[in-house]
A = this chain, B = another copy of it.
Amino acid sequence: MYAVIMAGGGGTRLWPLSRAARPKPFLPLLGETTLLQATVARLAPLIGPEDVHIVTDGRYLPLVREQLPAVPAANLLAEPMGRNTAAAVAYAAAAIDRPDDEVMVVLPADHRIADEAGFRAALAAAAERAANGDLVTLGITPSGPETGYGYVLATGDAVAVRGMPAWRVERFVEKPTVERARELLAGGRASWNAGIFVWRRDALIAGLRRHAPEILEPLLAAPSPEALAALYPGLRATSIDYALLEPASLEGRVAVVPVEVGWSDLGSWAALLEAGVAEGDGTVVSRAEDGAEVLTVGGRDLLVHAAGGRLVAVVGLEGAIVVDTPDALLVVGREAAQDVKRIVDALAARGDRDRL
């Protein structure tokens, strides 16, 4: 069993901490370690670092090496550029030299999972199911009719895995309207797609060959970095969900293991506030890096992340996030956390590369 961690970058909604030069997976957003380091540490009792492979944009290789000294250099796969997860997974399938029948766990580098033991137990159960050739996804038990996630809709057919509930998947539903999300929840068979997949390498390759051959085949035939650099820009940039899981589910080849493990995609500062409150003992969450300092007086529903080397004083503020860096400061109301993208868009529009 081995792991392939997708550490491609992203996280513009976590600006100004997440930048093109050091995006979300490489930041210590929760606790002392970076999200990538936490992802590897979380797997360790089940899959050691020597069995962890990282797919990343070539420009982040130095960051990955620095942050994961225990992962062998040969396990680092550098993409010439980001082309979404279908290309990244196909690249891993093509380039990692492991037995065809070994089980591969694919997972993002930048999520939070509070119940780590529960998570590993679910991976082990999913691996048991995957051993028979199924494509298995972990399904996050929804906490509400969120419209920002894809949904996995299970059939009523249970599939046996080590005493855990698991189901054949009927189909995937892309980000729904809130009405549709409510219907899905009412049906009782929907979970969120977190992009965590478990499958045998040969099942993955067979699935990609069937549903996304134009992505897989050139990668199978491209061993050299030069060849990779030449073909990558031409690859269709699409998600593995869309390229493989959706069509395969319609053929009855996908199973889901529902999990309730304190998951968050940490997709916005509001999600980080929520995660910080869940892990702390109050509703005011303070983090300070590198000589910075946080002083708070009063306040509620508050996240203060000080990474600007300065004193950040927050007095009587409610429902907000303060993020300080050396060259840019963000203060955002928690309800407006998605609108941080509008600041990033404004910086991009004026070509402010230093601050992106």
**A residues whose Cβ falls under 8 Å from a Cβ of B:** 16, 295, 297-299, 308, 310-318, 320, 322, 324, 326-333, 335-337, 339-340, 342-343, 346, 355
Contacts and interface: CB of A to CB of B under 8 A. Distances in A.
Nearest to A293: B328
Contacts of A330: 313-315
18 contacts: A16-B313, A295-B346, A297-B339, A299-B333, A308-B329, A311-B328, A311-B329, A312-B331, A313-B331, A313-B340, A314-B330, A314-B331, A315-B333, A315-B336, A315-B339, A320-B320, A324-B329, A329-B329
A336 B355 contact: no
B331 A320 contact: yes
Contacts of A332: 314-317
Question: Max chain B CB contacts within 10 Å: which of A299, A314, A327, A355?
Answer: A314
A322 to B, nearest CB: 5
How many chain copies? 2
Contacts of A316: 332-333, 335-337, 339
A342 B329 contact: no
A268 to B, nearest CB: 11
Contact of A343 (B297, B333, B335, B337): B297
Given A310-B328, A313-B328, 6 more contacts: A16-B313, A297-B339, A312-B328, A314-B332, A317-B332, A329-B329
Given A315-B336, A315-B339, A315-B343, A331 B331 contact: yes
Contacts of A322: 329, 331
